Copies of this chain bind each other. A is one copy, B any other.
């Protein structure tokens, strides 16, 4: 009992276990089909702890479904390589252990959960739109960003959520080439 001094306090470790389990289950089954009991079981703690730590299931979801795309500053890259750069970065984020699950959580729930949908629109507004705006004429910025968004959303939906076989089978390089050319055209307004 005297040894309360530890590298990571128990409360923090429990909190992280809950977040990891929630991220996992939300990304597989979406918000509605994931129960607090399941999260507790996977985290190895009592379900009541989840409410104690996060207040509600909704609050836990909000905590876990706030990813950052971390799109690169495109003004620094070659103007003719914007498309491929953007797609490469996008793929890396989705396949990365850190933000990938958070994105899947969000996309899987956004189609039937108001909060998740609003959160996804926010990512579009604050991350995709600014990155695209500078790549072409200002007056067509919303249009160009919208087209880029639709293609990137479709790619993520097909590859990571619905797992459309031919899209899953493609290599990252293949996707960067094929889809990159599309994004390049959308982003620059050719």
Point out residues on A near B: beta carbons under 8 Å.
29-33, 107-113, 117, 120-121, 124, 142-143, 145-147, 149-155, 157-159, 161-162, 164-167, 169-170, 174, 178-179, 181-182, 185-186
Cross-chain contact of A111 among B107, B121, B182 (Cβ < 8 A): B107
* Contact status B108-A112, CB under 8 Å: yes
When distances are taken between beta carbons in the complex, the residues of chain B under 8 Å from A109 are: 111-112
User: Given the complex, which residues of B lie within 8 Å of A113, measured CB to CB?
Assistant: 33
**Docked CA distance A112–B124 (Å):** 22
Measured CB to CB, the nearest residue on chain B to A129 is B166
Given contacts A154-B150, A159-B150, contact A164 B112 (CB under 8 A): no
Q: Which residues of B contact A167 (CB under 8 A)?
A: 146-147, 149-150
Interchain nearest-CB distance for A103 vs B (Å): 13
Asked if A112 contacts B33 (CB within 8 A), the reply is: yes
- A32: which of B33, B154, B186 is its contact (CB, 8 Å)? B33
Kindly provide the distance from the CB of A110 to the nearest chain B CB, expressed in whole angstroms. 6
Q: How many copies make up the complex?
A: 2
Complex: A170 Cα to B111 Cα, angstroms: 21
Q: Can you give 25 contacting A-B residue pairs, CB < 8 Å?
A: A29-B112, A30-B32, A30-B111, A107-B111, A108-B111, A108-B112, A111-B111, A111-B112, A112-B112, A121-B162, A121-B164, A142-B166, A143-B166, A143-B170, A145-B166, A146-B167, A147-B167, A149-B158, A149-B167, A150-B155, A150-B157, A150-B164, A151-B182, A182-B185, A182-B186
